[in-house]
Amino acid sequence: MPAPAERAEELREAIRHHDYLYYSLDRPQISDAEYDRLFRELRALEEEHPELISPDSPTQRVGVEPLEGFGQIRHLEPMLSLANAKDEVELRAWHARVLRLTEQAGFAPEELRFVAEPKIDGLAVSLRYEEGRLASGATRGNGVIGEDVSQNLRTVGAIPLRITAAQGAVPALLEVRGEIYLPLSAFERLNEQRVAAGEPTFANPRNAAAGSLRQLDPQVTASRPLTIWNYGLGFVEGEQFESHSQVLAWLAQHHFRVSPDVETASDVDELVAIFRRWEARRGELEYDIDGVVLKVDDRGLQAALGSVGRDPRWAVAYKFPPSTAQTRLRRIGINVGRTGVLNPFAVLEPVQVGGVTVGLATLHNEEDINRKDLREGDMVVVQRAGDVIPQVVSPLTELRSGQEQPFRMPEHCPSCGTPVVRTPGEVAIRCPNPDCPQKLMQLVEHFVGRSAMDIEGVGKKLVHRLFALGLVRDPADLYDLRYDDLIALEGFQERSVRNVLAAIEASKERPFGAVLFALGIPHVGAQTAEILIKRFPSVADLREAGAGEIAEIPQIGNVIAQSVADWFGESRNQRLAERLEGVGLRMRAEVQEEAAGPLAGRTFVITGTLPSLSREEATRLIERAGGKVTGSVSGKADYLVAGENPGSKLEKARSLGTAVLSEHALEELLGG
């Protein structure tokens, strides 16, 4: 008879094997009764010998205490979003760009291959494994930081809790990317159960999956039959992959659930044909898809093509035509954004579109309204795809009665009455008044948001009430609020007031990147803010930097650089930043402890095209070895790593006496 520890491991391996057959391959080899017998034996053995319990044991998928709230996890590599191709013309344009950039990167276009995968309409997650064990899991969040839903992800049977060495080499650290979803049959059963219990139903499977994963009680998540399709890797340490196809094969080999319908193609006509096949069969699937994801297969070429903002150049989501419906356009309203742009929107008779009741829809701008000849009172076609904001596609002119009214943008701001301005060359119409109440309210709403200062309990309604009472005029005023200000508000009691004040106080601990994003600088999103603070780690640094210096950051273009410089050049914005710093917000990035390594304490600048490394790869290698990478050549830089077409940085480095390295010389510094 085997020892308890040996028998426990035998049972775990057997249960993991049958979990894989059941959840990933849908080919169970034993009955439910036999599976339950194995599970009960393992549980009894662990109860008798608690020292044998391990975090990756199948018995530990459920049973933890409910959470009080979700923490945050920073992804080791950003979770990029995807640009969309809404029709064949846009797909062919994307393919042509990839071909052109492939040649420019020195790759042979005739060797270009693509991988096509169904685009699951679910919730993107990242699973972090350390030494083969599931250490944590997070939602996409803003692409850089996601919500810590580790305990809930452990309840999903299709997610391996451990990668065993028997399946091949196990990287020391890796991020597995996937899409959590709810099968359609499970979605229908869940809604039936909610109706029977007198609870509101979910609008669609994606909402149901997101709501199920974001439960504070993991027992609730465990009761929902969530599953996952894994589609790639983020950060990897200890394993290298030449192609995306190889990544998918590795994932399948290591018992991760990978779509069996992945296809490869070598030209754009094949990609279109694959899309048409998926479009024809989408109604036969047991899960929702809203298109096909197309990726360049060669990972070296992926790195060479790089990204634009959050969108990789080497991948695109070819989307199915969106769901549509018809309804009446009651009127066109105007919303003043935080930068002063007047944004028209449609007020509709409520209608169901793609499983969601729609009462408002975007109209983009005046030019869009005129081009479509939309009139108040028209019957219109409304479309919605996935989580995209509903749009008014066109009017049904044949149904007009003659009572419909043409729309004209106002000549004065509807919020403050200031005459609007039209900047030459721009479609946007703006309110130039820096004290416009609507602009300021929108800024404060943005400031308190989850990805910004994350001030729980301070939402749109409360912000509007605070403005109406004159208690808040800009973000800094939030930190002057007192108990007596809030307790007098209708619906507020002592506990809710204390919670709001505590959330405001807690926001002072938010990192500088979040604060920079919260300031509402035009064109600066959460990821752009993180990029900026690597080069300019404080408000003072940004205030002193000019647009030219900011634009030297590889991922920052001239438009963003000018916007940042303009924002910090305005005295009212400088005063706001000073007030926020005065109340205790973090206006400087925390100094990271310097990594140990052969390049510790040395500063590098990278310029030109390197023979085999992308700029991002070279940066990652230098930082892992303890070095720092900056965007501009100065007396503080120790080395300039120069490739082909180095530009003016090479001349400046030589004039300053900065050492110039080739890629080969850099590799020697790194120790080969």
Would you call 65 helix, strand, or coil by DSSP?
Answer: coil
Element (H, E) at 26: none
* Torsion angles phi and psi, residue 230, rounded to 5: -95, 135
Contacts of 591 (CB under 8 A, 6+ apart): 537
CA distances to 13, 22, 163, 256 from 17, in Å: 6, 9, 12, 12
List, as own/partner pairs, every contact residues 35-43 make where C-beta atoms lie below 8 angstroms and the sequence separation is at least 24, other chains included: 38/11, 38/14, 39/15, 41/11, 42/8, 42/11, 42/12, 42/15
User: What is the residue type of 437?
Assistant: P
Yes or no: say if 321 and 218 are a contact pair by the CB < 8 Å rule: no
DSSP annotation of 572: H
| Phi–psi pair at 434, nearest 5 degrees | -65, -15
How far is residue 248's CA from residue 233's CA, in Å, rounded to a whole number?
A: 9
CA pair distance 522, 78, nearest whole angstrom: 22
- DSSP calls for 275-307: HHHHHHHGGGSSS-EEEEEEEESBHHHHHHH-E
Tokens of 590: 């925390």
Distances (CA, A) of 140 to 39, 91, 512, 529: 33, 25, 20, 17
Tally the residues of the chain: 672
With the CA atoms of 540, 542, 546 and 551 taken in that order, what torsion angle do they form, in degrees rounded to the nearest 10? 160
Q: Where are the beta strands (DSSP E) in 80-191?
A: 84-85, 114-120, 123-130, 133-139, 145-147, 173-181
φ, ψ (nearest 5 deg) of residue 380:
-135, 160
The beta strands (E) that lie in 131-226 are given as 133-139, 145-147, 173-181
411 alpha carbon, distance to own chain's centre: 37
Q: Under the phi-then-psi rule, with left for phi > 0, alpha for psi from -120 to 50, and beta for the rest, what region is 451? A: alpha
For 303, 558, 595, 610, 611, the CA distances from 661, given in Å and listed in that order, are 21, 28, 22, 11, 13
Residue 614 carries which DSSP code? -
Task: Find out whether 139 and 125 touch, Cβ atoms under 8 Å.
Answer: yes
Is residue 446 within a helix (H) or strand (E), and if so which, with residue range? helix 437-447
Residue 228 and residue 238 in contact, taking contact as beta carbons nearer than 8 Å: no
DSSP string, 366-382: HHHHHHHT-EET-EEEE
Q: Mind telling me the catalytic residues? A: 119
